[in-house]
C-alpha cells in the first residue's frame, strides 16, 4: 500500500516538474 502511494506521489511530482519545464522552457 505504502509503496503504491509513494509511486503515485512520485508520478504526480514528475508530471508537475515536466509541466513546469514546458512552461519555463529549456533552461
pTM over 0.75: no
Residue 19 has a pLDDT of 92
Residue 26 has a pLDDT of 63
Residue 1 has a pLDDT of 73
Query: How far is Cα 24 from Cα 16, in angstroms, rounded to an integer?
Result: 12
The per-residue b/e assignment along 3-22, b for 16 or more CB within 10 angstroms, e otherwise, is eeeeeeeeeeeeeeeeeeee
What secondary structure letter does DSSP report for 27? -
Residue 7 has a pLDDT of 94
Residue 12 has a pLDDT of 96
Instruction: Encode pLDDT of 1-27 as tens digits.
Output: 789 989 999 999 999 999 998 888 765
CA 17 to chain centre: 5
Amino acid at each position: 500500500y505504502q509503496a503504491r502511494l509513494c509511486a503515485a506521489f512520485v508520478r504526480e511530482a514528475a508530471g508537475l516538474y515536466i509541466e513546469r519545464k514546458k512552461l519555463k522552457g529549456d533552461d
